Structure 1
Amino acid sequence: MKKILCLWMTVGLLVTGCQQDLDVVNPNAPTTDLFWKNATDAQQGVNAIYSTLHRGPIVLWQWFYYTVRSDEAFSQSPRTDIPNNMDKFLITNYNFGETNWIYGDNYIGIFRANQVLDNVPNIQMDEALKSRLMGEAKFFRGFFYYNLASLYGNVPLILATSKPTDLPANATRQEVWAQVVKDLTEASGVLPTKYSGTDVGRITKGAAYALLAKAYLQQRQYDQALTPLQWLVEGEGKDIYSLMPNYRDNFLSTTENNAESVFEWQFATNPSEFTDNDVQTPNQNYGSPLAQFVAPLNVGFSDAEMQRWVVNEFHQDKTTAGERDPRLAASLLYDSTDVRGPEFTQIYGQTFAQRYGTTGNNRGRVWLRKFQNDAEPGRANEGFRSANNYRFIRYSDVLLLYAETLNELNRTAEAYPYVDRVRQRAGLPALTQAKPGLDQTQFRAQIMHERVTELAGEGHRWNDLDRWGYFESQEKINELAQRDPAFTTFIVGRHRLLPLPQRDVDINPNLQQNPNY
């Protein structure tokens, strides 16, 4: 789906004056009287929702809050507001730009989805296509509220096309999760299982079921999560999805939309652009800036780095041939990505030793490799418009979630085979052989380990920790602080959620700030 258009929807928005009617209609601007007339309008309206994923706050800064704010990564960016707000829980500015942009861009996506849901039912067009497009819009509204529930919690529920005069009140986090479940359930009922041609990459039934399962799991509703996971693992999904034989194929631009991809964000090189800089030019957001911000020192900005303890997790198991877990080299760039050490480890055309030496602080630094483009021949650095797709939900994630769900339902013995599939793809011995007879608590701890080695840096760690109860007691926070010193400033009852943008709270008398901010 590399050809989805980046359509900026501004249909029907007017500015309201305070004392007198100053509304002036631009005769050249599209309006709801002119748009939403035919199937092309419906298609373009849905494409506009997809283009929200190209916006920097969603693909970049939201990843920071899911990953850098967790214990698996950190920031030592020279922009001190990034580590303070996104890593160290030193949040003093409730209008911090990047935080507000994430909040605002998720609502931009919701606005676009609501426009489709409000207007497409009235269009005379093929009913099967209409149903599918409505399903895509419901999926995305559920997805954007999934992010808002995960990061901000008690946000307004806006379920119709908003107007400038709207002053919505907070919903509870539970109410937001309930809406996520409703939207994804309805979407899963009408979406196709797969696409062909230029439609490959659009939202499928499997993507809706996978995100629905995640939403249930975040609420610890394991019984409800079982149904969508069973469809994916034991039902029709088992004939659609599978693990790629080569783990690294999940992170290369040459192997996108493969059999392991369940929900993949589509990026591309804009053919109208001849530079890879941050100049604000029309339609420049086909690509992703994430690689630029997480790339190693002197390759990109190095604004996010992985904690060294993550490397150690990969050393807990050897393959059946007695070798190192191959996922380590596929996941991270550090002094020993090549097992022979810094003189052999390649960092964009130079060895680690050439770039950073073999002594000093740089020797211990670790960067995420998964979103990088170092596999491209001759690539010396990263840029703002990477065409490498973001595989947000992979089938291995689904298998581990299914195993976790079965374990939480006291069906631990049944959970083993799904962990085995993930481990054996990496060449590790089956858990059935390596650690038979684990009880529920022991198996839960094993799942925590497996999700680090399989999914490190992919944007799930914060929600994993939240689901496992790490933000609810000081004892658990102290455990996190052993791996990530930033958690020494975490305050239980406050930092589980981000503050709502204070600017919104100030202008909306119906909106209350999150607790303890």
Structure 2
Amino acid sequence: MKRSFKYILGSALMLLVVSCSDLDKEPISNFSGQGFYKKPSDAQAGVTGIYNSMQSVFRLNFAYWGEGRADNVTTKHAGDPRALQSNDLTPIINSAKWDGFYTLISRANYAIKYTPQVFGEGESALKRELLGQAHGLRAVAYFYLTRIWGEVPLITEPYESVDQDVFVKRNGTDEVLAKVEEDLLFAVENCSASYSGAKNRVLFTKGAAYAFLTQLYMWQKRYDKAIAAAEKVIGDSQYTLVAMNDWNDIFVKGVSTESIFEIGYNEVQTNALRTLYALGSDSDYVPSTKFIASLEKGDLRQPRIYDVAEVQPRKIWKFFGQGFKDESPEPSSNNIVLTRLADIILLKAEAHANLNQSAEALELLNRIRKRAGLDVMDEATANNEYKSVIDAILHERSVELCFEGHRWFDLVRTGTAISTMQPINGLSNKGNLLWPLHESATLRNTNMKQNEFYK
């Protein structure tokens, strides 16, 4: 996949030398925002550097954080895959590191501070777009940080002075999520509704901001707000469900009409999708027996997800196409889709169901079911087969969004992680739902206290 925009990301570090992991700050002499941000093209390069950081953060860990601890996958691999599946998290596993997020946040903070200065006082569409994107990307970083680790340091200014405190403490989750909402609302007001060509799905747009607001409000159980945000996405004509025959193309080719925001990769800036899902018996994850048994008979997605001819499927086809047989260990150039229309439709359905609006919930649920070749579901059928309309929707999310990095977060936000995972790996303590802080964070900063469960 050769997308010209994505090659810009590969050169961003040559244009923007910003290094600021959470508590291991570079000396101020190594970078000066004032020295770098001189003209609009510098501001563009600065925001491009944020996207570059996002590529690094999610290339592997989107699956570790969103799928590795959940019930849809199983693994034979040691390291993080085994630790997450067996619920044996420790402060030395790689997925416990948050440094990449804080590099992303640092770059966003520089862009937010200095972009207005290079454009001056006048109105500029480009200035608004760049600031909107920087706020939106920072919001995504903090949203993931809070869902993974709970309380985290909330840093909203670049480190430029020895007078600034580098031994920061963790902020409460409510405070961090309030900043996430504020940043996303800023993105709604300032991002463009769309961009030309392939850039439209790999740059942060108003639609992306509304999609992440929907996810945020569902995490907070603010169902009315989730419905309102979702309606902004669903009502946008640029987002449509693809036909079932093109379902794999959402991930194989990328930038589909169903996609809302995806992280752009190419042959230079690659990710670990092959390692995660495609190397046959040597991939990190394969579909669990429980997941396979959960699919309804006649589901058209099943043969597009994995090889149904194998008793224990050795690879996941979803991201590479039906019949994929390439055993190459080379990194992948596929984009990683963080949110798409089906995700938002099902979240809106779930919000309606939580407000006892079953008719609205079922209409949305059945949009996804009908595309998958499944019978339309009514309330009686949902109650009979899945105990409730909410459970039917959560089951549909498990199948439709399988392996895309949503399942663990769905289990946690709906309060079903322990009941689902306890029979599998003994998960029993709410404190264990969070990741431990990596030892590198706690050793560098005595103010950084370990999550209680892992002390």
**Offset at residue 185 of structure 1 (A):** 1.3
Contact 2:251 2:337 in 1 (8 A): no
Q: What is the 5 A alignment of 1:100-139?
A: 100=97, 103-124=98-119, 127-139=124-136
Q: What is the 5 A alignment of 1:378-457?
A: 380-432=326-378, 435=381, 442-457=388-403
After superposition, the C-alpha distances for 1:63-110 in whole angstroms (9 at most, x for unaligned) are 112101111112211xx332443221213x41323421xx11111111
1:302 aligns with 2:283: yes
Q: Structure 1 residues 439 and 291 mapped into 2: Cα distance closer, same or farther (>3 Å)?
A: closer
Choose which of 302, 306, 321 in structure 2 pairs with 1:332. Answer: 306
**Offset at residue 144 of structure 1 (A):** 0.5
Aligned equivalents of 2:341, 2:152: Cα separation in 1: 30
- The code of the aligned residue for 1:121 comes to P
- The code of the aligned residue for 2:213 comes to L
**Offset at residue 23 of structure 1 (A):** 7.0
Q: Structure 1 residues 374 and 409 mapped into 2: Cα distance closer, same or farther (>3 Å)?
A: closer
Per the alignment, residue 499 of structure 1 pairs with 436
Per the alignment, residue 412 of structure 2 pairs with 466
After superposition, the C-alpha distances for 1:152-180 in whole angstroms (9 at most, x for unaligned) are 11110001113585111111122222211
Q: Structure 1 residues 58 and 23 mapped into 2: Cα distance closer, same or farther (>3 Å)?
A: closer
Question: What are the ranges of 5 or more consecutive residues in structure 2 without an aligned counterpart?
Answer: none
**Offset at residue 5 of structure 1 (A):** 2.1
Per the alignment, residue 508 of structure 1 pairs with 445
- The code of the aligned residue for 1:184 comes to L
Q: What is the 5 A alignment of 1:25-174?
A: 31-55=32-56, 57-77=57-77, 80-91=78-89, 93-100=90-97, 103-124=98-119, 127-162=124-159, 166-174=166-174
**Offset at residue 478 of structure 1 (A):** 4.5
Contact 1:287 1:384 in 2 (8 A): no
Choose which of 252, 267, 272 in structure 2 pairs with 1:289. Answer: 272
- The code of the aligned residue for 2:316 comes to L
After superposition, the C-alpha distances for 1:273-322 in whole angstroms (9 at most, x for unaligned) are xxxxxxxxxxxxx1212222321435xx31222211111222x2x4xxxx
Contact 2:306 2:315 in 1 (8 A): yes
**Offset at residue 36 of structure 1 (A):** 0.6
Q: Structure 1 residues 509 and 375 mapped into 2: Cα distance closer, same or farther (>3 Å)?
A: same
Aligned equivalents of 2:68, 2:58: Cα separation in 1: 15
After superposition, the C-alpha distances for 1:218-264 in whole angstroms (9 at most, x for unaligned) are 1112122122112122x4x2x22111013543446664211100111
Aligned equivalents of 1:480, 1:302: Cα separation in 2: 22
**Offset at residue 384 of structure 1 (A):** 3.7
- The code of the aligned residue for 2:140 comes to F
Per the alignment, residue 480 of structure 1 pairs with 421
Choose which of 5, 8, 13 in structure 2 pairs with 1:4. Answer: 8
Contact 1:250 1:391 in 2 (8 A): no
SS at match of 1:264: strand
Higher helix fraction: Structure 1 or Structure 2?
2
Q: Structure 1 residues 248 and 151 mapped into 2: Cα distance closer, same or farther (>3 Å)?
A: farther
Aligned equivalents of 1:210, 1:290: Cα separation in 2: 23
SS at match of 1:459: coil
State, as a whole percentage, how many aligned pairs show the same letter. 28
Aligned equivalents of 2:54, 2:199: Cα separation in 1: 17
- The code of the aligned residue for 1:188 comes to V
SS at match of 2:168: coil
SS at match of 1:503: helix
- The code of the aligned residue for 2:276 comes to F
Q: Structure 1 residues 453 and 24 mapped into 2: Cα distance closer, same or farther (>3 Å)?
A: closer
Aligned equivalents of 1:453, 1:253: Cα separation in 2: 15
Q: Structure 1 residues 426 and 59 mapped into 2: Cα distance closer, same or farther (>3 Å)?
A: same
**Offset at residue 439 of structure 1 (A):** 12
Q: What is the 5 A alignment of 1:168-187?
A: 168-187=168-187
Q: Number of matched residues? A: 439
Q: Structure 1 residues 433 and 405 mapped into 2: Cα distance closer, same or farther (>3 Å)?
A: closer
Aligned equivalents of 2:301, 2:20: Cα separation in 1: 49
Aligned equivalents of 1:66, 1:160: Cα separation in 2: 28
Contact 1:210 1:228 in 2 (8 A): yes
**Offset at residue 493 of structure 1 (A):** 2.9
Q: Structure 1 residues 310 and 173 mapped into 2: Cα distance closer, same or farther (>3 Å)?
A: same
- The code of the aligned residue for 2:65 comes to Y
Question: What are the ranges of 5 or more consecutive residues in structure 1 without an aligned counterpart?
Answer: 271-285, 319-323, 343-362, 472-476
TM-score by length of 2: 0.88
Choose which of 302, 310, 317 in structure 2 pairs with 1:369. Answer: 317
Contact 1:412 1:439 in 2 (8 A): no
Q: Structure 1 residues 48 and 374 mapped into 2: Cα distance closer, same or farther (>3 Å)?
A: farther
Q: Which has the larger radius of gyration?
A: 1
**Offset at residue 121 of structure 1 (A):** 1.2
Aligned equivalents of 2:233, 2:200: Cα separation in 1: 19
- The code of the aligned residue for 2:96 comes to T
SS at match of 1:145: helix
Aligned equivalents of 1:123, 1:60: Cα separation in 2: 35
Aligned equivalents of 2:86, 2:104: Cα separation in 1: 29
**Offset at residue 204 of structure 1 (A):** 1.1
TM-score by length of 1: 0.78
Aligned equivalents of 2:267, 2:49: Cα separation in 1: 18
> Does 1 or 2 have the higher relative contact order (CA < 8 Å, sep 6+)?
2
Contact 2:61 2:95 in 1 (8 A): yes
**Offset at residue 383 of structure 1 (A):** 3.6
SS at match of 2:339: strand
Q: Structure 1 residues 200 and 414 mapped into 2: Cα distance closer, same or farther (>3 Å)?
A: closer
SS at match of 1:168: coil
